[in-house]
Amino acid sequence: MDYQNRAGSKFGGGGVASTSATNADRRERLRKLALETIDLDKDPYFFKNHVGSFECRLCLTVHQNDGSYLAHTQGRKHQTNLARRAAKEQREGKKDEGAQTGLLAGVQVKKNLIRIGRPGYRITKVRDPISRQNGLLFQFQFPDIIPKTEPRVRFMSAYEQRIEEPDPNYQYFVVAGDPYETVAVKLQAREVDRREGKFWTWFDEDSKEFWAQVLFKTERDERFSAVPGLAPGRK
């Protein structure tokens, strides 16, 4: 999906209304970023109904578009319901059902696919030289990834995963590339800066190396942001 080049591209690139980013542009950019990170096909609570709206089967809410749904998944209501669901399943002893080493809940496993182990990786601590934001640079090796596919990433809250006891101090950065095992890196539960150039992924088709950079918002920015998990972008 390429929303960025859609506006104006048919008309020779001159049709964009304004040079400054409007709120609509900002929402569209957030939506695009969220769509790149969150795989809706694998979200067990995401449901597209017959009239084309989107429903959260966990919270029984209706959303007009996928962007609105994605924002909802980062909100308090959804996160609270996830926590309740996790607690209920734990009481009922369902906690470990379907759990496999190296795989997290919400990541559906293609049953007939033979897994070939985990991708090689390197993680480097980074710091944005201008904003002084701390973060991590990930480098994964996927030499035998299925041709013409790229690794996918998403962030998962402590309550979404079922591998270990939910600890709200952590979140998980999940990387999937078939036929490798899906892996997750445990991160501190700080808000990720999803603005362009701060959070990015890149797959090198030739070397089959997958790169991702995650920068955390500064504590000051975290205090001022409205929606946890979805950065508000520049003001």
- Which of the stretches 12-20, 74-82, 212-220, 224-232 binds Zn ion when contact is defined by CB under 5 A? 74-82
Shortest Å, Cβ 69 to Zn ion:
8
Residue 64 tokens read as 């007009």
Residue 38 interacts with Zn ion (CB under 5 A)? no
Residue 227 interacts with Zn ion (CB under 5 A)? no
Dist CA 72 CA 30 (whole Å): 13
Laid out side by side, the sheet with 134-141 consists of 120-127, 134-141, 209-215, 200-204
* Residues pairing with 184 in the sheet: 174
Pairing label, strands 152-157, 183-188: unpaired
Binding-site member from 7, 35, 59, 83 for Zn ion (CB under 5 A): 59
Residue 83 interacts with Zn ion (CB under 5 A)? no
The residue whose two tokens read 């500064």 is 218
Task: Select 78 or 152, whichever has its Cβ closest to Zn ion.
Answer: 78
Query: Are 231 and 191 in contact, with CB atoms under 8 Å apart?
Result: yes
Residue 58 interacts with Zn ion (CB under 5 A)? yes
Q: What is the DSSP letter of 177?
A: -
Shortest Å, Cβ 81 to Zn ion:
6
Shortest Å, Cβ 102 to Zn ion:
27
Task: Select 44 or 117, whichever has its Cβ closest to Zn ion.
Answer: 44
Residue 82 interacts with Zn ion (CB under 5 A)? no
Q: Which residues, including other chains, have CB under 8 Å from residue 19's CB and lie 6 or more apart?
A: none
Residue 192 interacts with Zn ion (CB under 5 A)? no
State the residues that interact with Zn ion by CB under 5 A: 56, 58-59, 78
